[in-house]
Structure formats: C-alpha cells, structure tokens
Structure 1
Amino acid sequence: MSLDADALVDRRRMRRKLSFWRGAAFILVALVVIAGIAYAAGFAGIGKRSAHIARLSIDGVILENRDQLKLIEKISKAKAVKGVILSINSPGGSTTGGEALYDALRKLAEKKPLVAEIRTVGASAGYMIALSADHIVARYNSITGSIGVLFQFGNIAKLMETLGVQMDAVKSAPLKAEPDFYTPTSPEARAMLKTLVMDSYDWFVNLVAERRGLSVEEARSRADGQIYTGHNALDLKLIDAIGGEDAAISWLETERSVAKDLPVINWSVDEDQDGLPLASSMSQSLGEGFAKGLTGSLGAAKGLIPRGLTLDGLVSVWQAPEAADENP
C-alpha cells in the first residue's frame, strides 16, 4: 500500500514539473512571437520613424561589407533621417573596401546632409571614407592622414632552405603568381607591384585633391604616408574643424538647415534585421550567442596569422607600432 502511495506522490510531482516546463516553454515562444510581430509592425524601431539624425559608425579595419552598403542605401531612403553623422574610428583597411564604402557614402550625401567625425583615428582608408562627407571634424589629437597605398608580402625562402624544403612551379608566364613566398622577388615582379601600387595611389591623391579643394601637387605633398594630428590636419586643409559630435551636429544645423535638438540615433548592421520579418531581440541574441562562439574559435586561429597577411589585395591602412618589450 505504501509503495502505491509513494508512486502516486512521485507521479504528481512529475506532472507538476511537466506542467511548469510546458508553461515556461509556451510563455517563451509567445514572447518571441509577440516581439517578432511587434518588430515587423515597426514598434521595435519606432524611434527611427520620427525625425532624427542618423549616426553611422565605422569602427576597426575596413573591408568590403555588403550588409554595410545595404544599410547605407537604406539610410538614404529613410524619410525620417534629416542628416547623417559618419563616426569614424578606423586605421583603414583594404583599398577596394574603402572605395566601395566611399562610393556608397557619396550617393548618400547626394540625398542627405553628411558630416564626418574622426574620433581616435581615421587614417588611410579611414580618411578616404571621411572624404565622402561635405564637412570633416576631428579632435585636436585625433590621428588622421597616412594617405597612401601598401602591398605587403613575405618570403620564407631561407627558412625553407634551412629545413631542406624546395618548391618549384610551372608557369604560363614569368609574372604569373608573383611574388611568391618561396623564391626571391624578381626585379620584374617588383616593378609590376610598384605600378599596381602607384596606380591606386594616384587615384587616392586625386580623390583628396578633388574633395578637399586642393591642387594635385598640394594633395601629393600631403600624401607621403605620414600621419597627422587633427590640429595639423586642419592647418593642411585635410579637415574643416576641430571638435567632436557636437561640432558635427552644429554644422548640420547651421549649414544644412537641419532642425535643432533632433535626437541622434545609431544605425548599425547588427540592428538591421528587416530581412527576417519575425526577428526579435530575443531570437537575435540567441543567434548572436552562437555566432560569437563560432567566431571566437575562428578568431583564436586567425591570431596565428601575422597581421600583414590577413588582408587580401592592396591595403590602405595605418599600422600603429607595437610597444617594444622593456628589459628589466
């Protein structure tokens, strides 16, 4: 008899637990669905439906990013956006990535007042994209400039010789796949790369001249690869004013007739989920958690690759010198 009583008690406990988890699961699903429907209806982005200034942040290394380009196009079509602050904190990146971003931003500037704010650093391709704006501000001690193009490659021929490894190749022409990492770079290959770099460099210089109202000679004199503080850049006419976001907003209000005291709202690729009609902050967080776990593993592996080898093609990037080890 006691065994039956114990079994009955256990059964009731199991039923309570099962009911609890069923209820919790139902509530969780309901929250996701409700949040998704609200997002699709526009409630999640209600702030972006009223007049505001859009802040578009460009941080880190610049690469060609299709999602970012789509976001810029979306901002250009948003009627509620009355002006755009391009907030830059980037040492540069690939030249083609900078070019694609610059072109998209120029199209945006044709529809919306665009001002660039260089924060800690806006150098190389970071400065290139600042040129897309009709007004550039930077802090007194912001780092900018580094106007130029770089093509880096390594060679481990001596190491392979030490290890007793020999590489060979059959080519359709002497310059095919040059330079490689296992033979000394030929004068012909070096000349080819020089032509490639200088062609891209001339394009960059002409862009600076055109956008900053300088002669090509003046632009070239500033494009020797050196970096400048915001103060130096102002003297060289590479930027228009010293200041931060407040100065950028003031310019929009006084020079582009943007209404005063409009809120500044972030526009970012991470928040732009219109491709998923029922996306909600909860479901997005779950996806981001998985993605971060995956990219964290990949990032650890990528850390084994030297920094100069992680960008393909021509590079326009300022590489901050690493601190030297101090002897005790």
Structure 2
Amino acid sequence: MVLILVFGGLAVVVAGGLVAAVFVAALQDEGEGGLGSPALGYITIEGTISDSRETVRDIRQLSRNSAVRGLLVRVDSPGGVVTPAHEIYTELKRVRESGKPVVVSMGTVAASGGYYVSAPADMIVANPGTLTGSIGVIMELPILRGLLDKLGMRVEVVKSREHKDIGSPFRDMTPGDRALLQGVVADVYEQFVAVVSQEREIPLDSVRRFADGRILTGRQALALGLVDTLGTLEDAKLIAAEICGIKGEPRLVKPAPKLNVWLRRLMDGMSEKLLGVPQIPRLSYRW
C-alpha cells in the first residue's frame, strides 16, 4: 500500500514501511484576492549566491503565470560567485524586458553580487541602513605548501605548459601567475562596472569613483543613484502593486520550496566552515 500525505507543498510518501519526503512543485499563495486575480510574484535571494538554477527556475515559473503582473524580489545577500549572480541578473532583466515590472527590496545586506542581481530592477528600494555597494571582484587562493612541508608531504605536478596549474595551493604564486589572474579579475570588474553604468544610467567614470569595493548604506547609495528610494519590504510591495496597477493589498504568489534546495542551503559553505578555506579557484562578487 502506498499512502501520500501532502502538507503545503511537502509530500510525505509511505510505502511498505518506508517513509520518503519530497517537495511538490507548487505555488504558495498569500494575500487578498482569489486564485487568478492579479498578483505579484515574490522571490527571495538570501545568503551567499553559489548556484543560480533554482532561483532562475522560480523566476521563470512565476513570470509565466498569467496572474502575475510583476515581480517583487527580496535581496538579503553579501553576494557570491560571479556566474550564478550574472545568470540571476540576466533572468530578471529578461522579465523586465518582457513587460512585467521588477521591484527589488533590499534587506540587511545587498552588497556586491547582491547589488548585481538587483541592478536590472525597474525600482530598487533600500532600507536606510542596508549595507550595499561593494562593487568589485575578488579571487582568493590559499597556499598550503608550508603546511605540507611541516607534514613531510609534497605534491608532484606534471603539466602541459607553464600556467596549467595556475592557482594551485601546492606552490607559491609566480609574478606571471599574478599578472594573468589580475587581468582576469580586472576584466570581470569592468563587466560589473558596465552593468551598473547601463542599468542605473550613470556614466562609467562616475561609477568607477565609488566602485572600489567600498560598502555604502542605503542612504548613501540613494545619493549616488544606486537605488531609487528608501523604504521597507512593505513599502516595496505597495510600490510594486502601484506600478503593476494592482489596487489594495497585493496578493503574493511564491514558489514552493523544494527538498533539494533545502539540502543545498544546508551544505552551502560547509567546506569553508570545516576547512577554513573557500572552494577554489573562483571569482566572486562578494563582500
């Protein structure tokens, strides 16, 4: 006998004495109005951005919902890895260009990659004390050679050409390595600056004046043109409803959490916490 119990998107399957839990791909609904009435899609981007797949999937799912008039995106992130941040940015930009407004509400932190994913919004709403900005790129490469020497261990490397093991933790960085990696970081930095300049309509030279990695409060960001107004999540929700032509308290439609997302969040950063070093090598928009 197979018994399936569903609790708000979580299906518990009981079969032959075995219990398994799987999240059902469904939408969670809250607020005024019934199903089918005009609504806002609600997405949260929280913590370190290390994978874009679930967020992009959720954005697409909501944007294709005929009842969803626009997206309200809550960002509370210090940033993360470059490529996932860019993929989320690209998907939000696609929604905006499709004609559905995107409004971002910044929480405690929306810095570096957290700002990058916010940039394509029609309206960015920050709290006065939000920590944002930190426009820049960082690459961290731990060196373990000294530790291995103390343990009496070494790693032999056979490589095709000089830079094939660039960034290896088993040897010191050479001047040539550093020059090459600095070029990579500089190129990605210029991409970040260009995105900010384009999305916020700020001249490139003006962006570079404050794009040195510094953090900014929401109020400072407003003065520089990086956000549009100051306010809370509730303020952002009302602003989004007004832009989308929704009267009264807007209905929010949320993607249901999935089990694999929960497991990924549980494991995210585990190697850093256990080993004290990040996954390497990687480029990050991170504060």
TM-score calculated relative to the size of structure 1: 0.73
SS of 1:181's equivalent in the other structure is coil
Once residues 147 and 83 of structure 1 are traced to their aligned partners in structure 2, the CA distance between those partners, rounded to angstroms, is 27
In 2, Cα distance between equivalents of 1:252 and 1:164: 61
Q: CA deviation at 1:44?
A: 7.5
2:19: which partner in 1? Answer: none
What residue is the counterpart of 1:313 in the other structure? 282
The structure 1 residue matched to 2:84, chosen from 87, 94, 97, is 97
Q: Shift of the alpha carbon at 1:237?
A: 0.8
Residues 265 and 198 (structure 1), Cα distance of their counterparts in 2 relative to 1, 3 Å cut = same
Q: 1:110 aligns with which of 97, 100, 103?
A: 97
Q: The residue matched to 1:205 in structure 2 has which SS?
A: helix
Larger radius of gyration: 1
Pairs within 5 Å for 1:1-328: 29=3, 49-111=36-98, 112-254=100-242, 256-268=243-255, 270=257, 288=259, 303-306=273-276, 308-310=277-279, 313-318=282-287
**CA separation of 1:197/1:270 partners in 2, compared to 1, >3 Å: closer, same or farther?**
same
**Which structure shows the bigger proportion of residues in helix conformation?**
1
Distance 1:153 1:59, change over 3 A: same
- Verify the 8 A CA contact 1:64 1:100 in the aligned structure 2: no
| Residue deviations 1:254-287 (CA, integer Å, cap 9, x gap) | 4x2522214342523516xxxxxxxxxxxxxxxx
Secondary structure of 2:108 counterpart: strand
SS at match of 1:248: helix
Task: Please report how far the alpha carbon of residue 67 of structure 1 lies from its aligned counterpart in structure 2 after TM superposition.
Answer: 2.5
The offset of 1:165, in angstroms, is: 2.1
- How many correspondences in the alignment? 269
Q: What is the percent sequence identity of the aligned residues?
A: 29
Q: Distance in 2 between matches of 1:297 and 1:134?
A: 33
Higher mean Cα deviation, 57-66 or 291-300? 291-300
Task: Tell me the distance in 2 between the aligned counterparts of 1:200 and 1:97.
Answer: 14
CA contact (8 A) 2:138 2:283 kept: yes
Q: CA shift at 1:299, angstroms?
A: 7.5
CA–CA distance in structure 1, aligned partners of residues 107 and 182 of structure 2: 32
Question: In 1, distance between residues paired with 2:237 and 2:246?
Answer: 10
Shift in Å, 1:82: 1.5
Instruction: Indicate the residue corresponding to 1:276 in structure 2.
Output: none
Q: Kindly indicate whether the alpha-carbon contact (under 8 Å) linking 2:241 and 2:247 is maintained by their aligned counterparts in 1.
A: yes
1:18 paired residue number: none
Moved more, 190-199 or 50-59: 50-59
**RMSD between aligned residues:** 3.1
TM superposition shift of 1:224: 0.4
Gaps of 5+ in 2: 12-23
